[in-house]
Structure 1
Amino acid sequence: MAMRIHVDTVLCESNGICAGIVPEVFDLDDDDRLELLREELTPDIEPRVRDAVVQCPRNAISLSE
């Protein structure tokens, strides 16, 4: 089973740090709300997504199986 990326939209401040790290996964929409562009964690993006998890100031990003 593949790892999944989750964003807690209640905690998220939409500051865009994650979008700067992994723009193919995280994006800010026209209303400055965070959009999760893909949920599956693949090997090619895993190191950067894990970096985004660590750098999220609100701990709003998590990974699960």
Structure 2
Amino acid sequence: MRIKADTGVCVGSGQCVLAEPTVFDQGDDGIVVLLTDRPDGEAAARARNAVNLCPSRALSTVEE
């Protein structure tokens, strides 16, 4: 699985960072920053949850 982030859609709510801080961070402007786009193990499960929590739908997954 690969995570994609559309920074043009992100509203900076921070739900992704709260759900999985090893995968997501926020820049000075509050916009999502991917720390890794290919999480594994428990981080992958929490990252999937973060994708579902995103209020602006800026996050998505690509199954590989």
> Is 2:18 the counterpart of 1:20?
yes
Report percent identity of matched pairs: 40
Structure 1 length normalisation: TM-score?
0.84
Q: Which runs of 5 or more residues in structure 2 are unaligned? A: none
Q: State the number of aligned residues.
A: 63
Q: Give the partner amino acid of 2:12.
A: S
Query: Based on CA coordinates, which of the two structures has the bigger radius of gyration?
Result: 1
State the 1:18 CA deviation.
Answer: 0.3
Q: Which runs of 5+ in 1 are unaligned?
A: none
Q: How does 1:20-39 map to 2 (within 5 A)?
A: 20-39=18-37
Q: Call closer, same or farther: CA 1:14–1:38 in 2, change over 3 Å.
A: same
